[in-house]
Structure 1
Amino acid sequence: MTWLITGGAGYIGGHVTQQLVEAGEQVVVLDDLSSGAAERLPAGVPLVVGSTLDRAALDRAIGEHGVTGVLHIAAKKQVGESVTEPLRYYQENVEGLRVVLEAAAAAGVSRVLFSSSAAVYGMPDVELVTEDTPCEPINPYGETKLVGEWLINAAAKAHGLSTVSLRYFNVAGAASPELSDEGVTNLVPMVFERLTAGRAPRVFGADYPTPDGTCVRDFIHVADIASAHVAAVKRLNAATEQVNLTLNIGRGEGVSVQEMLAVIGRVTGYDTTAEVTPRRPGDPARVVASADLIHKELDWTARYEVEAMVASAWDGWCARHPEARRRA
């Protein structure tokens, strides 16, 4: 069996590709390298440079490598950017997925694993978010992920596909410095960037109905994200009947922004006293996963604690910004 991994040279995709190879799976990667890097791929992994909108590239990758399953990670993922560029996000995330499914169905590929997001839930007013919590996304990015799940489910019914959709919560960390997140759109690298520049980290609102007034999130190590994909691939490979699952990937534990800043301070040695700024529109007070269903269905549980996430992310940041460690 061979799996096509779209976006497999990106931050999350690189970790997934590495762990699948280590698990003995045959893989081929399709990536347009707009945010990915060929250097992230393990030696010997074939790379087809192309977009998910490029049917010819998809057909070539599937046909030449005997693909039997598709793991679709490639997507645009910046919430703020999705608000200002919704047409681009729908084109890349929804139309891109449609083309991938079309190519898969035409080639008789029967297994699809989809990278979704907790953004599909919007602002849930619950202690723990289960897979049955109503989906009410509040930005175009979350909308595209929810539409993607609908599209996956419709294709499964029409073409007899076995599918798993994995809803990521807040990803952090790195398995190794060379696989670390090069972007600065997530909380941890955003704080690193400001500390390295000699500026205080920013907290967007400290008056939420939470124990310390800052937002509470479920942070998950990217290596745990990758291991969940491996578990899902193995479930799909072993299936003798049609499988259709939608699962959260989280730790089931809430960490506030203020608590995360304290961890970052301990790991880096910097003063992480924050500058409090007004709330960002649409930020829910608390979003924490229930991880019971993924444990039941895939026998998967997150392994890494928050300190390990931050320490691994800091190692990756300092590998690219050596001056950061010297300033601490």
Structure 2
Amino acid sequence: MTADHIASVSLKEADRDPDAFAQKLGRSFEEYGFAIIADHGIPDELIHRAEEKSKQFFALPEEAKRKYLIEGKGGARGYTPFGIETAKGHKAHDLKEFWHVGRDLPEGHKFSAHMPNNLWPSEVPSFRDTFEELFTTFDRTGLKVLSAIARYLGLGEDYFVDTVHEGNSVLRLLHYPPQSEPTGEHIRAGAHEDINTITLLLGAEEAGLELLTKDGRWIPVSPKPGELVINIGDMLQRLTNGRLRSTSHRVVNPTPDRASNARYSMPFFLHFRSDFLIEALPGTVPAGEKPKWAPITADGYLQERLREIKLK
């Protein structure tokens, strides 16, 4: 089996032939935990603008960026400096820095304790407008993907609408700096699985993203420019009792001819709402067996994992 089996589908097909689209996507998620989507409806202009704003922020002096570091909050909002996040079970930190944008909630909202207010860097003009727009667009696109997943699982196609309403989703702006000297055991992102429901990733065209197949091979995930990489997170794996795979993936260091290039990407980690109880869906546990995982709320699981990856 080769990487060519990772489904590459057009979101336009979801409207034309929803069943065929759901089957292609679902099979890819069962086998690889990943799929690639073209024609996803996130405007090119917005993507380019967001990339530009991200680059402007990461080019700021270190002391300017560190003004937006909130100690003790697990990097939930604002800036997380280079060399902090460490993949679960690894000792070597990742070679990256990032910025988090979350959902804005009204004053006194029941999820306020789980979802702090956003920070916005005053040094980058229209940063806030750009990323609020991108967050909303990702949210909308994510619902279309979840609708196809629901169809594949034999659920009503609106099944996920309520589960992710006001979910603790996070848009991450990532910067992997150029590498001018040996990095030892450190790589751009150590092998890990995502915590959330599904991840929608823009900016994976620069080589480096790899996934681990069921038979233990690392294979590249290679979208064309502007395409969206989608992968299943732990929360959806738990909900489907392992039918949809939350696959180990990593970002390896560049080849010597690309080492002087920085890598930028923008994953959107779509989350269930904080109080949603993640327990195996009916029909996903074989007769006579117990579910693979105990029920846990989305926020309970998130906090557990943030401690494991040294963000808390």
- TM over 0.5, shorter chain: no
Q: TM-score range by the shorter chain?
A: under 0.3
Which TM-score applies when normalising by structure 2?
Answer: 0.25
Which TM-score applies when normalising by structure 1?
Answer: 0.24
More helix by share: 1
